[in-house]
Amino acid sequence: MTTKSIKRGTKKTVGSSSTPLNKAELKAAIVKHLHCSLGTDENKANNHAWWKATCASVQEHVLEGLRKTQKSHYLNDTRAVHYFSAEFLMGRLTSNNLHNLGLFEQTEKALNELGVNLTDIMEEEQDMALGNGGLGRLAACFIDSLATLDLPAVGYGLHYEHGLFRQEIKNGEQIERPDSWRDYGNPWEICRPESIQDIPLFGYVETKYGENGRVSKEWHPGHIVKGLPWDIPVVGYGGKTVNVLRLWQSQASDYFNWDVFNAGGYVDAQKENVQAETISKVLYPNDETEAGKELRLIQQYFFSACSLKDIIRRYKRAHGDDWSRFSEQVVIQLNDTHPAVAIPELMRILIDRAELDWDYAWSICSKTFAYTNHTLLPEALEKWPARMFEKILPRHLEIIYEINHRFMDQVEAVWPGNNAIKQKLSIIEEGAEKMVRMGNLSVIGSFAVNGVAEIHSALVKKDLFPEFNHMWPDKLTNVTNGITPRRWLKACNPALSQLIDGKIGNDWPLHLHKLQGLAEFADDAKFQKQFMKIKHDNKTQLAKEVFTLTGVEIDPNAIFDVQIKRLHEYKRQHLNLLHIMALYRRLLENPQYDIHPRVFLFGAKAAPGYKLAKDIIYAINKVAEKINNDPRVNHKLKVVFLPNYRVSLAEKMIPAADISEQISTAGKEASGTGNMKLSLNGALTVGTLDGANIEIAEEVGDENIFIFGLTVDEVETLDRKGYNPFDYYDNNRELKAVLDWLDSDYFTPGKPGALSSLKRSMLEGGDPYKVLADFVSYSDAQALADKAYKDSAKWAKMAILNTARMGKFTSDRSIKDYVERIWKLVPCEVE
Ligand code: GPW
């Protein structure tokens, strides 16, 4: 049953999928679901019921698409990519699905006729926050593009019961509350008990000696847990291909602990249930720090093993026990090292289960995996204590040792007798505690390794993995990140999208380079006015939201300056804060100080255990409180920290931004993707030459971006000669005054020193992210931005050119890069 009939290069038009549902049908379906699925009616239904009935009506149609897609992939026996990621930051699905199906406007009208407002009821949806930040959101953009490009793909991850914590701000401090996104059910997911997998854990390995002299290994696990898959349909733009995101929930296995149960240990048996179910209970909230926790390794193994079994089951259905075509049919992309344990797991299956010999198994394995690196930060490079590995996955550790042993022979062949290089490249780090380095395992076990922006990939080659690059010069490569323009322009900024449609046609969401067509209107006064009117309306809208959420009044005529991202020292929210304090001080010293009114908006979650990050949030809130209530300056300056930053809040902030803060220390931000979203929506970047900012600057032109600060080379030079933050503190009166201000009780009346930890980190702490070194340059760039904004025609032109020149950063382009250079997939059209 393997008919290969692949159609290439099929064209598609926007929202073309055979007008699935008209308005009357939609109305009927929604009312039917109110009655038959929800047991209510048009008079009693609240917003939540209307939302659910609307989703159920659309889901019927989505599931048809899913069925057709799966059939088509099966009949064509397609090669598929399997995107393994511990995080998928999906956000809300309703608006996205309606847009991608081409049903948004009809649904809006249908509901209107029923007396219901679509925008209002969509607020009922909880974000699917199964990720921390950029890495998880990238995975979500990628699966959107994969479906849009009609590529056979499955996303695999964890079905966390609690996603990223909900952030509250109390007296300026972050409080974490559990996120319960599924409390009232998720209308978009389908439970698939027919595809449950059993996953072994713990136990010991038995060595067996066969009659033929064959030595084999048998893992006797101590526990078995069940993996229950939940499928979330992923609707491509145009609505034809509907792929799936398959997320695994852990459950106690049925036969697990019957012994205990039968021996009268009913309560203990329940205890085991709780343990098994703990695995998918909660997302680790640490962004860019390896946790080193046993449960985290179990999570990683659990979802990787479930997913591999799922893939192998599907492969065997078409190819039986013939493994020779496995790596032709299956490519697995590892989203960072979190799923890297899939490499020894596949080896285990091939050797211990399928009884292939090592070399054959390795030849399959090393043609199957590809690995994306997302960071150079040492604290984010995952390492596991070998002892922990041995306890949880004893057979996998043996396999890793064998992979390493054979790899060390290769290193010896390249660098004979060079132990220093061996130590560096070894998967095993020797020391007080032996560690398993997941990055090295991933490079060795993959056929391709990529960084996520040009500069980042260059640094991966030069600084992180230079010897690997020497051994395999073609393995390391770059794929610059991207974002889906469907969510990040069409859906989140409908007014701008319509303006663009009117100017250049409506197929830009599929061909983002067409936005270039806007450039010819960049000088057109009428277009500038229309463009800036939409920005102003979006700002008015956000101002209302800000008032509702915080009680702070902000003026849409002010510059909206936005920094939204996880709170991290390397992202330097505190550099932004020092500059805000400097502006405040200048205004106090000189009430005539001429700046255009500005509102600084922040959105950021700190990892619960990251003390300094939480201190920075506290400092931002305390400075905000003081400034916002100071009548001497609050017509010129406001500071807002919006609590609980998440995808759905980003969708409201980004269309309203004038300035985008992308101010990481050069060399630290692998790519960034918020930078792309903001620029696409006409915000101008104030940024360093870091990550994708460099490529954004290349695209928009130096005259349409405010670049400042040390370059990667300058940071290196400064480090080599010895960086001393006191040089800057002692020699800049304003900087000194602002830092000293943090020691006073000016912002924290009655609590002097409450903000001192920030100052300490930037002085005695050595200022690891060179905030002080970049302060003057940053402040100058901000002054230029202020000046540019005062010339409204100039600003409008710059904003338009930002939108017009973002074509490169569609995630469709990223996916095409992966397809052509790494995955070698062929699109499969769905009838
Ligand atoms: F540490 N990124 C992230 F590399 O959001 F694993 N979380 C993470 O844990 C890591 C990276 C990890 C981000 C990068 O910081 C950002 O620069 C990049 O744009 C994004 O991943 C997607 O590639």
Instruction: Single out the residue of 397, 390, 398, 339 nearest to residue 369, CA to CA.
Output: 339
Residue with CA nearest ligand 1 atom 19? 672
Residue 349 lies in a domain: yes
Using a 6 Å cutoff on CB, does residue 138 contact ligand 1? yes
| Nearest Cα residue to atom 8 of ligand 1 | 288
Report whether residue 127 contacts ligand 1, using a CB cutoff of 6 Å: no
Which pair of tokens denotes residue 739? 């830092």
**Residue 151 pLDDT greater than 80, yes or no:** yes
Residue 127 to residue 809: CA distance in whole angstroms: 24
Angle at 249 between CA 58 and CA 293, to 5 degrees: 135
The finding on whether 336 has its CB within 6 A of some atom of ligand 1 is yes
Higher pLDDT, 803 or 273: 803
Q: Are residues 225 and 88 in the same domain?
A: yes
Which residues make Cβ contacts (< 8 Å) with residue 462, sequence separation at least 6? none
**Measured between alpha carbons, how far is 5 from 184 in angstroms, rounded to an integer?**
43
Q: pLDDT digit string (tens) for 458-485?
A: 999 999 999 999 999 999 999 999 999 9
Tell me which residue range forms the domain holding 802. 498-710+774-809
The answer to whether the beta carbons of residues 3 and 75 sit under 8 Å apart is yes
374 lines ligand 1 (CB under 6 A): yes
Q: Is residue 448 part of a domain?
A: no
**Closest atom, ligand 1, to C-alpha of 481:** 23
* Residue 374 belongs to some domain of the structure: yes
Q: Are residues 514 and 659 in the same domain?
A: yes
Question: Are the beta carbons of 566 and 674 closer than 8 angstroms?
Answer: no
Q: How far apart are CA 248 and CA 227, in angstroms?
A: 6
Mean pLDDT of the chain: 95
The pLDDT value recorded for residue 213 is: 87
**481: Cβ below 6 Å to ligand 1?**
yes
- Tell me which residue of 487, 527, 525 sits closest to 804, measured CA to CA: 527
- Tell me: do 373 and 505 sit in the same domain: no
**Span 498-538, pLDDT tens digits:** 999 999 999 999 999 999 999 999 999 999 999 999 999 99
Q: For atom 9 of ligand 1, which residue has the closest CA?
A: 288
Residue at 107 is within a domain: no
Cα of 299 vs centre of ligand 1, distance in Å, is: 19
Ligand 1 pocket test, pick from 288, 647, 669 with the greatest ligand atom count within 8 Å of Cβ, gives 288
Percentage of the chain lying above the pLDDT 70 cut: 95
Q: Which of 422, 423, 403 is nearest to 412 (CA)?
A: 422
pLDDT higher than threshold 80 for residue 265: no
pLDDT of residue 263: 64
User: Do the Cβ atoms of 811 and 520 come closer than 8 Å?
Assistant: no
Nearest atom in ligand 1 to the alpha carbon of residue 669 is 17
Whether the per-residue pLDDT at 16 is higher than 70: the answer is: no
Task: Give me the interface pTM, i.e. the ipTM.
Answer: 0.99
pLDDT at res. 531: 99
DSSP letter string, 220-279: E-SEEEEEEEEEEEEEPTTS--EEEEEEEEEEE-TTTTHHHHHTT-HHHHHHHHHHHHHT
* Residue minimizing CA distance to atom 16 of ligand 1: 672
Q: How remote is the CA of residue 621 from the centroid of ligand 1, in Å?
A: 26
Identify whether 374 is a catalytic site residue: yes
* pLDDT tens-digit map of 198-236: 999 999 999 999 888 889 999 999 999 999 999 999 999
Question: What is the CATH classification number for the domain harbouring 218?
Answer: 3.40.50.2000
Q: How many CA atoms lie within 13 A of 85 on its CB side?
A: 30
Q: Are residues 369 and 505 in the same domain?
A: no
Q: Residue 273: pLDDT band by 50, 70, 90 thresholds?
A: low
- Of 85, 88, 135, 815, which is best to mutate to test ligand 1, by the most ligand atoms within 8 angstroms of its C-beta? 135
Residue 464 CB less than 6 A away from ligand 1: no
162 is catalytic: no
Measured CA to CA, the distance from residue 449 to residue 818 in angstroms comes to 11
433 DSSP assignment? S
Q: Are strands 435-437 and 428-429 parallel, antiparallel or unpaired?
A: antiparallel
CA distances from 191 to 129, 181, 315, 429, 571 (A): 19, 16, 22, 41, 39
Which residues are CB-neighbours of 772 under 8 A, at least 6 positions away? 725, 728, 729, 735, 762
For residue 567, report the phi and psi dihedrals to the nearest 5 degrees. Answer: -80, 120
Judge whether residue 264 has pLDDT over 80.
no
648, 781: one domain: yes
Could you tell me where the DSSP H helices lie in 114-234? 118-122, 134-148
b/e sequence 336-354, b meaning 16+ C-beta within 10 Å: bbbbbbbbbbbbbbbbbee
808 pLDDT tier (thresholds 50, 70, 90): very high
Rounded to the nearest whole angstrom, what is the distance from the C-alpha of residue 230 to the centroid of ligand 1? Answer: 25
Q: Is the pLDDT of residue 615 over 60?
A: yes
pLDDT tier, 2 (very low <50, low <70, confident <90, very high otherwise): very low
Examine the domain organization and report whether 507 and 359 are in the same domain. Answer: no
Q: Which of 565, 574, 614, 622 is catalytic?
A: 565
383-385/435-437 β-pairing? antiparallel
- 407 within 8 A of 444, measured Cβ to Cβ: yes
Find the largest Cα–Cα distance for the chain.
Answer: 93
Beta bridge partners of 244: 154, 233
Structure tokens, 623: 């400075």
Residue pointed to by tokens 């300058």: 714
User: By three-state DSSP, how is residue 495 classified?
Assistant: helix
Tell whether ligand 1 has an atom less than 6 A from the beta carbon of residue 691. yes
Ligand 1 pocket member 340 (CB < 6 A): no
Count of the separate structural domains present in the chain: 2
Question: Ligand 1 centre from 627 Cα, in Å?
Answer: 33
Residue 676 token pair: 């792309």
Task: Compute, in angstroms, the gap from residue 288 CA to the centroid of ligand 1.
Answer: 7
DSSP, res 164: S
Residue labelled with tokens 């220390």: 665
**Looking at the predicted structure, is the pLDDT value of residue 257 above 70?**
no
Burial letters 190-217, b for 16+ CB under 10 A, else e:
eeeeebbbbbbbebeeeeeeeeeeeeee
Ligand 1 center to 792 CA (angstroms): 36
In 543-605, beta strands by DSSP E: 559-564, 598-603
Q: How far apart are CA 598 and CA 654, in angstroms?
A: 16
Which residue minimizes the CA distance to atom 3 of ligand 1?
135
Single-letter code of the amino acid located at 23? K
Question: Residue 331: enclosing H or E segment and its boundaries?
Answer: strand 330-335
Q: By CB neighbour count within 10 A (0-12 exposed, 13-18 middle, 19+ buried), where does 74 fall?
A: middle
Q: Which atom of ligand 1 is nearest to the CA of 691?
A: 17
Summarize pLDDT for 733-782 with one digit per residue, the tens: 999 999 999 999 999 999 999 999 999 999 999 999 999 999 999 999 99
132: Cβ below 6 Å to ligand 1? yes
Alpha-carbon span 769 to 149, nearest angstrom: 40
pLDDT number for residue 820: 98
Catalytic residue status for 565: yes
Nearest-angstrom CA–CA distance, 212 and 216: 11
Q: Check pocket membership of 236 for ligand 1, CB cut-off 6 A.
A: no
Q: Which of 88, 372, 375 to mutate to test the pocket of ligand 1 (most atoms within 8 A of CB)?
A: 375
Dump pLDDT digits (tens) for 309-354: 999 999 999 999 999 999 999 999 999 999 999 999 999 999 999 9
Catalytic site includes residue 626? no
Query: Which of ligand 1's atoms lies nearest the C-alpha of 133?
Result: 5
Residue 781 lies in a domain: yes
Distance 687 CA to ligand 1 centre (A): 18
Coil, strand or helix at 113: helix
Q: What pairing do the DSSP bridges indicate for beta strands 684-687 and 659-662?
A: parallel
Asked if residue 133 has its Cβ within 6 Å of ligand 1, the reply is yes
Predicted confidence at residue 212, as pLDDT, reads 85
Residue 734 domain-assigned (yes or no): no
Nearest-CA residue for ligand 1 atom 1 is 288
Residue at 514: amino acid letter: K
Summarised one tens digit per residue, pLDDT across range 19-52 is 568 999 999 999 999 999 999 999 999 999 999 9
pLDDT band (50, 70, 90) for residue 260: low
Q: Tokens 């030079």 label which residue?
A: 717
pLDDT at position 5: 37
Index of the ligand 1 atom closest to the CA of residue 336: 6
Residue 720 lies in a domain: no
Question: Whose CA is closest to 536, among 795, 317, 749?
Answer: 795
245 is written with which tokens?
Answer: 């995101």
Among the options 166, 226, 396, 566, which is catalytic? 566
Ligand 1 and 452: CB distance under 6 A: yes
What is the distance between the alpha carbons of residues 134 and 522, in angstroms, rounded to a whole number? 31
Atom from ligand 1 closest to the CA of residue 377 = 1
The answer to whether residue 717 sits within a structural domain is no
CB contact at 8 A, 622 and 747: yes
- What contacts 24+ positions apart, CB below 8 Å, involve 356-361? 356/323, 358/402, 360/323
CA 529–ligand 1 middle distance (angstroms): 37
CA dihedral 815, 818, 824, 827 (to 10 degrees): 0
The pairing of beta strand 448-451 with beta strand 369-372: parallel
- Please confirm, yes or no, whether 673 is among the known catalytic residues: yes
Active site residue 571: yes
- pLDDT for 7: 37
